[in-house]
Amino acid sequence: MRKYEMILAGILTVMIMGFLTGCTGSLFKNMGSFEPSTTATQNFEKFVINDDYNYYLTGSDVYPVAIFGLKKAYIIDSDEDLWKKIDPKQEVMSELVTNMQLRALSCCLQGMHGHDILDNHGRKIGEWYSLLSLIIGIKIKEDGKVVIYPPTDNNDVKRYQGRDYPTMF
C-alpha cells in the first residue's frame, strides 16, 4: 500500500507543478524586461538623442529618478502623472543626466546605469537610465501600448529624493 501512496503523491506533485507553471507562464507572457547595457549608459552620458525615441522622465524635473527613451511606435499606457515627456534636445539631456549623476553620487555613493528596454520577445524598444538598484517592470499590451511600472519606492529612491531622514530615536 505504501508504494501506491508514493506513486500517487509523485503524480499529484507533477500535476500541481505543471498547473502552476502554466498559470505563471500565461501571467508573465506579456512582460518585457530591462537588461543592463553599457551602450545605453554611454548614450545617456554622452547625451546622445535617438531620433526614433520619445523621451520621458519620472520624479523631479531637476533630479529625475529615471529617464528613458522609447521607440516612437510605442505608446505609454500608464497614468500620465507618472511619466513626463521631455524635449529631446542635447542641452536638456545634458542638464538632466548631469544632475542625476551628481545627486546619485552625493546621496547614495552610486553611479547611474543604462539598460536596454526589451519587449516580451526580447527585441529592444528603448533605453533606460537610473540608479542600478531600482525595481521596475514593463508590460507589453496590444496595438503598441506599453505599461512601464514606476520604480519601487525603496530606500535608495528615498535617499535620492531627500526623503530618507535619520531618526533621533
Give the confidence band of 13 by pLDDT, cuts at 50, 70, 90.
Answer: low
15: Cβ contacts below 8 Å, ≥ 6 apart: none
pTM over 0.75: yes
Q: What are the pLDDT digits (tens) for 16-67?
A: 665 555 544 445 578 999 999 999 999 999 999 999 999 999 999 999 999 9
**pLDDT on residue 168:** 44
C-alpha dist (Å) from residue 10 to 2, 17, 19, 72: 12, 11, 14, 51
For residues 38 and 113, the answer to whether their CB atoms sit within 8 Å is no
Give the confidence band of 1 by pLDDT, cuts at 50, 70, 90.
Answer: low
119: Cβ contacts below 8 Å, ≥ 6 apart: 32, 125, 140, 146
Q: Does residue 93 register a pLDDT over 70?
A: yes
**pLDDT on residue 97:** 96
In angstroms, the CA 43 to CA 37 distance is 10
Q: What are the pLDDT digits (tens) for 109-141?
A: 888 999 999 999 999 999 999 998 888 899 999
Give the confidence band of 155 by pLDDT, cuts at 50, 70, 90.
Answer: confident
Here the cell at position 113 is 546605469
What values do phi and psi take at 77, rounded to 5?
-115, 55
